[in-house]
Amino acid sequence: MSVNNNNPSKWKADIVRSVDLYNSWFMEFAPKAFRETRVATAIQVEKALNYSNNLLNVTPDLLKAHPEVLPILRMSTCPPIARDRLIGLSGVSKNLVINMEDITDPRMPPRMALEQLNCELLKICQTIIKMAGPDIFVWLNRRENATAQEISRAATIIADRLCGAVSDPIIRNTQEKRQLATIEKWLKIRGYRKLDNSKFDKMEAGTFSFRTNVPVGMADNEKIKVNIPVDVLIMPLAAAKNEMPLLIEAKSAGDFANVNKRRKEEAQKMSQLRNTYGSKIRLILFLCGYFDSGYLGYEAAEGIDWVWEHRIEDMQLLGL
């Protein structure tokens, strides 16, 4: 049963309400989320400065022990260096930098030869040292050690740069947490139980889970499986034997332009799921924010339906 993708006459009014809901949330909570992240980031920057002896000891050994400091070091230069720019200036492999800046697991590339690793880390260090901002790190060209006030000031500047560079992800991650909390509250009121660890094909009726991997076959070889993460999996209370859970992707957006760049992501995910599990698999979008008729029409044409957060009661129409 379709919920919203077959009712284009209602789209315009829903778009307006969705934009209003997002803007109300943004005005009230986004600044707080940004401030909290900025404070936490400043603490991380101070740790990085401590590891590097206030930027006086930027070495390959430092990067091996603390690969997570690389984004901080990039923001310590004049001008700040983007990730790809660092790769180009240093002449190092993209794989090295991507591994070091992995959000969940900063590390050295496990298969890179030690000699090559040391050589490339040294190149990164030389680039950072050469371009370190003298107006931020005022102690670099003098004999006196940095004062506590100077270190704190430098950490704040770098934290502002980092937060400015990742402000959109900060807001998006905070919004996603809020959306998942909204879904969780709605489900628990109706008797659903949350699973902390679950498998796609092992869920019991009346349960749900967040950020669960679903295995799908590769396009060129169905025997090879890869995992795709799905925000929410729900097994209906009245699920029949061997019924597949409902899959939900929580989506929010602060402008119309961005969603039309990302609209193919859901279609690709749906195609992978259908190729693996057939037409009975259901993927629903949970939308809040700037999703215009162009985006909605594209998703509808791909057979993807959605529930608006401002009308979450439509979840009942999904058999929940």
212 in a domain, yes or no?
yes
Predicted confidence band of residue 311 (pLDDT cuts 50, 70, 90) = very high
Q: Is the pLDDT of residue 302 over 90?
A: no
The overall average pLDDT reported for the chain is: 87
Q: How far, in Å, CA of 49 to CA of 320, rounded?
A: 51
Q: Tell me if the bond preceding 79 is cis, omega within 30° of 0.
A: yes
266 in a domain, yes or no?
yes
96 in a domain, yes or no?
yes
Token output for 101: 């800046």
Q: Are residues 305 and 187 in the same domain?
A: yes
Residue-level pLDDT at 165: 67
Q: Are residues 25 and 110 in the same domain?
A: no
Residue-level pLDDT at 89: 92
Secondary structure of 24-51 as H, E, C letters: HHHHHHHHHHHHHHHHHHHHHHHHHHHH
253 in a domain, yes or no?
yes
Domain ends where: 150, 167, 184?
Answer: 167
Dihedral angle, C-alpha 185, 190, 192, 196, nearest 10 °: 10
By the 8 A CB rule, do 320 and 246 touch?
yes
Least confident of 103-112, 168-177, 259-268: 259-268
312 in a domain, yes or no?
yes
Residue 48: name the closest of 114, 111, 137, 134 by CA. Answer: 137
The model's pTM is: 0.66
Q: Characterize 92-104 residue by residue with b for buried, 16 or more Cβ atoms within 10 angstroms of its Cβ, and e for exposed.
A: beeebbebbeeee
Least confident of 25-34, 63-72, 186-195, 294-303: 25-34
19 in a domain, yes or no?
yes
Average pLDDT over residues 53-81: 92
- Domain holding 267, by residue range, is 8-29+168-318
Q: Is the pLDDT of residue 54 over 70?
A: yes
Predicted confidence band of residue 1 (pLDDT cuts 50, 70, 90) = low
Q: Are residues 148 and 202 in the same domain?
A: no
Q: pLDDT tens digits for 112-164?
A: 999 999 999 999 999 999 999 888 888 988 888 888 888 888 888 888 888 77
Residue-level pLDDT at 136: 85
Count of domains forming the chain: 2
Q: pLDDT tens digits for 245-257?
A: 999 999 988 877 6
> Higher model confidence: residue 196 or residue 34?
196
Predicted confidence band of residue 221 (pLDDT cuts 50, 70, 90) = low
Residue-level pLDDT at 6: 87
